[in-house]
Amino acid sequence: MAAEEHPEGYAGHAGHGGDAGGGYDALMAAITGETLPPDADSGDRRAYGSAAADVALLREQLGLIGTALSDPPPGLRARQAP
């Protein structure tokens, strides 16, 4: 589901510490594209920045994996070349 479909955000989801109480989940926010809440403190901002960097790296790596999996196998490529 898109972030817009969750007006309360993902604060109720279990965070990295395992608490499902009203904590801010930076990783879930970065994955869904949510923005930081207006009252975010410096710790939340650091966590969000780190999570956003992790998500960007994961997205890049998944793209490389997808490209590698969609290419023909090396042996088949050699036989197809004229």
Count of domains forming the chain: 1
* Residues in Cβ contact with 11 at an 8 Å cutoff, skipping those fewer than 6 apart: 22, 23, 24, 25
Q: Which pLDDT value is given to residue 18?
A: 44
Count of Cβ atoms closer than 10 Å to residue 36 Cβ: 16
What is the tens place of the pLDDT at every residue in 46-58?
Answer: 999 999 999 999 9
Domain, as residue range, for 71: 3-80
* Most confidently predicted of 3-7, 13-17, 71-75: 71-75
Q: How far apart are CA 69 and CA 21, in angstroms?
A: 40
Name the more confident of 75 and 12: 75
Instruction: Answer yes or no: pTM beyond 0.75.
Output: no
Burial class (CB in 10 A: 0-12, 13-18, 19+), 44: middle
Q: What is the mean pLDDT of residues 48-74?
A: 94
